[in-house]
Structure 1
Amino acid sequence: MNETLSTLLGTDSLLVGTIIPFLFVLTVVVFVHEMGHYLVGRWCGIGVKAFSIGFGPELIGFNDRRGTRWKLSAIPLGGYVKFVGDMNATSTPDAGEIESLSDSDRKIAFHTQPVWKRAATVVAGPAFNFLLAIAVYAVLFTIYGKMVMEPVVAEVRPDSPAAAAGFLPGDRFVSVDGTPVETFADVQRMVSGRAGDPIVFVLARDGGDVTLTATPEVMEQTDALGNVVKIGVIGVVNTVESGQPKLITFTPGEALVEAVYDTGHIIARTGQFLKRFVVGREDKCQLGGPVKIAKISGQAAKLGFDWVVQLVAMLSVGIGILNLLPIPPLDGGHLVFYALEAVKGRPVSERAMDAVYRVGMFLVLAFMGFVFWNDLFGC
């Protein structure tokens, strides 16, 4: 009996070690995203029919005093806010329902609102995802500070891009492609996502500056969670002796500023990855779906709660960026329609909108199928 309980409920079990951390990470990210839509929608005077974490059949729920149904649904792979006048969870307008609304309901229906209110409500979801990441990093920096190392070259790997470019031990990085750097992590961040791209480095050497160009090559490395990742490297090594690691502490205000910078770097890096992926310059196995997220959640949980919340921040940024892609039914697709409406002075025709939604839904489903295939068979 004890062995059975240990198998089912132990920290290394599938339930406690993987499923629960996965549900925690995904639920927090989805809840914050949908809460962004809900809060800004309510602020704009839009009526909300349902707020759901998950899709499919309702498991539990309740109605609040405004008539909104708050519920937890059976398929925990997302969520939605359904506004008055929506046909479905993607906020597709339902012309039939809008026509049948009472005058009072028509005033609070989503699709009868000015375009700026609809745009603000839609963009609030991704915006709250980015704010969640900023909040997580601000708290972590306030509590733990940040360990940094000086951007100094200790060793140059033989036959590496750095060796071919003329890097020498003792060189200190000044800038990478025109962007000043202060830590070795800055250099790694700017190089790791640019395999195959020539990069211009300015280095301090013997009292002066030298300018060298190196093209990062792809190398497999094991990250802190034990996953094998492919990143760009130029072949320089930083050691404790040369890097002189130090812990930087922050006041809450300083931590917030640092968190904004770090979140901005993650957004830029994710956007860069997606652009390179579309043109076939990134490994398809770097993209994963729910199975991969569940695996990483379990790995993070074993390292401690602070690793789990860092994963929440990373996933939150990713979800925010994906939702801003200009593809219906994603938030970015809605924003494209609203931009066209603002320019033309009238909504896009229902026929055109329906056709684009069908294509967009096909693309979204194809992407979901792709990442599921990667999770289960492809990588």
Structure 2
Amino acid sequence: MIQSPGFFVTIIAFALVLGPLVFLHELGHYLVGRWCGVKADAFSIGFGREIAGFTDKRGTRWKFGWLPLGGYVKFAGDMNPASKPDADWLALPAEERRQTFQARSLWQRALIVLAGPVMNFLIAILIFAAFAMTYGVDRTPAVVGQVMPESPAAAAGLKQGDAIVSIGGRQMDTFQDLAQFTVLRPGATVPMVVERDGETFDARITLGAAHEEDRFGNRYTRGQLGVASGPRVYEPVGLAEAPAAGIRLVGGTLRSMIDGLGQIITGRRSVDELGGPLRIAQMSGQQMALGWPALISFIALISINLGFINLLPVPMLDGGHLFFYAIEAVRGRPVGPGAMEWAYRGGLAAILALFLLVTFNDLDAIGVWRHLAGLIG
């Protein structure tokens, strides 16, 4: 077992993971806003009281907040960092009003909001594309190289050389696709299409549940099929093909995230698996201890997470703004201020509740509750 990194290494790794991602996410908003002619009043990394900053020649205040768990761009015409419209923006002089966020057309506002999550996905695509060029792309076919004794695969009658065409209705192009599907579904019973000696047949299989512990002592429950692949096949990727490889890898990661979220919503997975900043910090330190490739890969995963979460249709998040713009496009006029006020309050309450939940989970994951119980006992 690898010794967990110390506190200071964890803090440095967390800053290396979250800081650049927050900056680049907000930079996406800022750059597209500038392109659309919107003035930015503030660009902040972190929330709360400013601890350092400067004002550029365009009047934008670039600053660091004392709570480094996010960031924001406050455009002219916004009441607050969540881009809630200021009711008094119409009272501004005409020249200032032309530079506000609210003065932009619907498609421009949507583009500015969308730019942040898109930037997160682009970062992950670039990282995965670079990895594809460096290490190649795993093209190992979804063919059974070995069946483990007394495994779900053995119980289903799978044999060496069988090709898994699909499982759970999802096509399996590579062995990695098979692994990504099964790992999220411990105990699930799913249909499967198998090709053997040129003929296909249908089967059903109940996946196993493997309880594992990683090199840092973290425990996980993973779905298990009970097969091993044949020799791994890595295909070299050139510069021209790398972006497409990066997009495919991001797409596969997003699909796994959506699968996992759907299982939590439907109760098939526990909400205890949801993590927050403390767990990200812990995992950042652990990945840094494994080396720079592991840390950079983790940055890509967190970037995809940030992009995905921000697109959820929750008021105060980017997806909430886009949801309101979709309603505006259908109705032909913006949502009323009263409805917006209640939506923002509900969104804030939902975000705070989620933050409390994931913080509780994080404290449990790092052993705080067990330590307290030991002290009390």
Q: TM-score, normalised by structure 1?
A: 0.90
Identify the residue that residue 44 of structure 2 maps to in structure 1. 52
Match of 1:80 among 72, 76, 94: 72
Is 1:48–1:84's contact at 8 Å kept on the other side of the alignment?
A: yes
Is 1:327–1:360's contact at 8 Å kept on the other side of the alignment?
A: yes
Query: Which residue identity is paired with 2:7?
Result: L
> Which consecutive unaligned segments of at least 5 residues does structure 1 have?
1-10
* 1:377 to 2:364 alignment: yes
Identify the residue that residue 288 of structure 1 maps to in structure 2. 275
Is 1:220–1:228's contact at 8 Å kept on the other side of the alignment?
A: yes
Quick check: 82-91 or 226-235, which moved more? 226-235
Alignment RMSD (CA, Å): 2.0
Change (3 A) 1:79 1:310: same
Identity, % of aligned pairs? 43
**Could you say what secondary structure the match of 2:78 adopts?**
coil
* 1:313 to 2:300 alignment: yes
Match of 1:189 among 163, 166, 180: 180
CA deviations 1:108-159 (Å, max 9, x no partner) are: 1112221111111111111111111001111111122245544332443444
For 1:351 and 1:121, locate their aligned partners in 2 and report how far apart those are by CA, in whole Å. 24
Quick check: 50-59 or 148-157, which moved more? 148-157
Change (3 A) 1:165 1:220: same
CA deviations 1:284-316 (Å, max 9, x no partner) are: 232111111111111111111111111111001
Identify the residue that residue 371 of structure 2 maps to in structure 1. none
Identify the residue that residue 4 of structure 1 maps to in structure 2. none
Identify the residue that residue 355 of structure 1 maps to in structure 2. 342
Query: Which residue identity is paired with 1:136?
Result: I
CA deviations 1:26-66 (Å, max 9, x no partner) are: 01211121111111111111111111111111122111221
Identify the residue that residue 163 of structure 2 maps to in structure 1. 172
Quick check: 349-358 or 199-208, which moved more? 199-208
Is 2:120–2:307's contact at 8 Å kept on the other side of the alignment?
A: yes
For 2:228 and 2:272, locate their aligned partners in 1 and report how far apart those are by CA, in whole Å. 26
Is 2:5–2:286's contact at 8 Å kept on the other side of the alignment?
A: no
Paired positions, count: 363
For 2:251 and 2:198, locate their aligned partners in 1 and report how far apart those are by CA, in whole Å. 33
| CA-CA distance at 1:179 after TM superposition | 4.3
Query: Which residue identity is paired with 1:13?
Result: G
For 1:223 and 1:12, locate their aligned partners in 2 and report how far apart those are by CA, in whole Å. 14
For 2:272 and 2:81, locate their aligned partners in 1 and report how far apart those are by CA, in whole Å. 30
Change (3 A) 1:344 1:147: closer
Change (3 A) 1:224 1:120: farther
Is 2:54–2:63's contact at 8 Å kept on the other side of the alignment?
A: yes
Q: TM-score, normalised by structure 2?
A: 0.90
Is 2:78–2:101's contact at 8 Å kept on the other side of the alignment?
A: yes
For 2:252 and 2:87, locate their aligned partners in 1 and report how far apart those are by CA, in whole Å. 42
Match of 1:104 among 73, 95, 101: 95
For 1:373 and 1:318, locate their aligned partners in 2 and report how far apart those are by CA, in whole Å. 20
TM alignment of 1:120-131, pairs within 5 A? 120-131=111-122
Is 2:186–2:221's contact at 8 Å kept on the other side of the alignment?
A: no
Is 1:134–1:256's contact at 8 Å kept on the other side of the alignment?
A: yes
